[in-house]
Structure 1
Amino acid sequence: MGKLLVSSALLSAVLISAQIDFSSTRFGITAGGTYSRVSNAHNPSGPRISAYGGVLALIPVDNNDQFYIQPQVEYFGAGESGKDKNAKGTLGYDAVYANNYISVPIYFKGFFSEAESEFFGMAGPRFSFLIDQKVTNPSKAYYAVDELSAYPGVNGKASSFNFGVGLGIGYSYQRKLELAVRYDFGLSNTYKGLMNEPGTDPNIAKKKSEQVLSVGLSYIFE
């Protein structure tokens, strides 16, 4: 909660101090693929490949067409699978731990120059609200969402809210068609119910952090 408050305060300070021109806001659509993992959670643990898609707004914060605030609203697929390359043929290798969110990243976006076609960087917080969780073929019964666990307090239910920070880099063609690569690092504990999982592995007591690498295209309307 403290990290969320600090990040929100910093974002508010940026918005207040910036020369925001809402009248010149442009809107767009965005979509792409995601490659996600969760640290210290399931065993075996591997990546999940999914997708994202949504809408964005591009809000100028200077008079030089170089710096912007870019909020987005996305359907965002994350989570992980059991596809550890060292676990082929074992129980749980075919597991999928799918977490799907309505996600709201808010990026500060800067182009490297004022040219119409140019590279850009972006960074900012991401607020994600769980709308669906599906677990198939788990390696342990209590990894499932609705399974009654023999261990009190141990369960595989994902947190309803996740907070993280994202970094990205991309290329814009004539400030309309854009290709971007983003990396989002979760600061929340995605699976609090697995903190007391039985076993001696020291990773059990560690925070379950969700990380997502995504690649996608955006089209920004005039």
Structure 2
Amino acid sequence: MKKLILSTALFSAVFLSAQIDLRSTRFGITAGPNYSRVQNAHNPSGPRYSFYAGVLALIPIDNNSQFYLQPELLYLGAGETGKDKDAKNKPGYNAKYSSNYISVPINFKAYFSEAESEFFAFAGPRFDFLVSQTVTDTNRPESYSIENFGKAATFNFNIGAGVGYSFKRQLELSLKYDAGLSNAYPDLKNSPSEIKTNDPDVAKKKSQQTISVGLSYIFQ
């Protein structure tokens, strides 16, 4: 909670001090693949490969075409699987713990110069709102359920940062990492699952991390 308050306060200070020009806002679309994992949640634990897609706004906050706020509204697939390479053919290897969100990143974005084609960096908070969750295992369908393997949190708070390249300030390619600061499975420690009762990480916070590659098109 302290991290959430501090991060929100810092971002609010940057927002309020910026020279925001809403009249020059541009809009765009963005999508790409992503890789996600959750620390300390399930055993075995492996990555889930999914995607995100949505819309963005590019809002100038200076007079030199270098600094922007970029809020986004996304559909995001996250969670994890049991595909740990060291657990192949063991119980839980084929499990999928899928959590899907409406995600709202709000990034501060800086181009490295005023050139039309240029590298950029960005960072900011991301707010995730759970819209669906599934837990499955093709080898043990009768024993895999949300009740046994933890209800995902309805809200997650993350901090992310990334870099990218812009082609003429219109077509952009980016790479981003998001770290979850809230508990992705707050009630998992109370799970009756036999897998969790013998896991020493059961009492630790379940933190979700995401790596995304994105392609964005910004309308003129």
The question of a shared fold, defined as TM-score above 0.5 by the shorter chain, is answered with yes
Output the CA distance in 2 between the equivalents of 1:186 and 1:142.
28
- The structure-2 alpha-carbon separation of the partners of 1:94 and 1:200, relative to structure 1 and needing over 3 Å to count, comes to closer
Specify the SS of the correspondent of 2:201.
Answer: helix
**Number of the residue aligned with 2:11:** 11
**Number of the residue aligned with 1:206:** 204
- Which of 134, 152, 163 aligns to 1:169? It is 163
Conservation of the 8 A alpha-carbon contact between 2:43 and 2:199: no
- What is the RMSD of the two structures over their aligned residues, measured on CA atoms? 1.7
Specify the SS of the correspondent of 2:202.
Answer: helix
Q: Shift of residue 22 of structure 1?
A: 0.7
Tell me if 1:190 matches 2:197.
no
Specify the SS of the correspondent of 2:182.
Answer: coil
- Residues paired across the two proteins, number: 215
Q: Shift of residue 170 of structure 1?
A: 0.3
**Number of the residue aligned with 1:152:** none
Q: Where do 4+ consecutive residues of structure 1 move more than 4 Å?
A: 138-143
Letter aligned with residue 204 of structure 1 = V
Specify the SS of the correspondent of 1:3.
Answer: helix
Output the CA distance in 2 between the equivalents of 1:213 and 1:144.
26
- For each residue in 1:140-174, what CA deviation from the matched residue of structure 2 results, as whole angstroms up to 9, or x when unmatched? 988621x3x5xxxxx51000000010011000000
Q: Shift of residue 181 of structure 1?
A: 0.4
Conservation of the 8 A alpha-carbon contact between 1:80 and 1:97: yes
Output the CA distance in 2 between the equivalents of 1:6 and 1:143.
38
Percentage identity across aligned positions? Answer: 64
Q: Shift of residue 5 of structure 1?
A: 2.2
Conservation of the 8 A alpha-carbon contact between 1:42 and 1:143: no
Output the CA distance in 2 between the equivalents of 1:216 and 1:201.
35
TM-score (norm 1): 0.92
| Alignment gaps of 5+ in structure 2 | none
Conservation of the 8 A alpha-carbon contact between 1:196 and 1:205: no
- For each residue in 1:13-36, what CA deviation from the matched residue of structure 2 results, as whole angstroms up to 9, or x when unmatched? 111111111110000000000100
- For each residue in 1:67-96, what CA deviation from the matched residue of structure 2 results, as whole angstroms up to 9, or x when unmatched? 100000000110000100011111111111
Output the CA distance in 2 between the equivalents of 1:88 and 1:136.
17
Conservation of the 8 A alpha-carbon contact between 1:195 and 1:207: no
Output the CA distance in 2 between the equivalents of 1:193 and 1:142.
18
Deviates more, 1:183-192 or 1:7-16: 7-16
**Number of the residue aligned with 2:94:** 94
**Number of the residue aligned with 1:160:** 154
Letter aligned with residue 168 of structure 1 = G
Output the CA distance in 1 between the equivalents of 2:179 and 2:144.
22
- For each residue in 1:109-154, what CA deviation from the matched residue of structure 2 results, as whole angstroms up to 9, or x when unmatched? 0011111000000000000000000111187988621x3x5xxxxx
| Alignment gaps of 5+ in structure 1 | 150-154
Output the CA distance in 1 between the equivalents of 2:21 and 2:142.
53
Output the CA distance in 2 between the equivalents of 1:120 and 1:142.
47
Conservation of the 8 A alpha-carbon contact between 1:66 and 1:111: yes
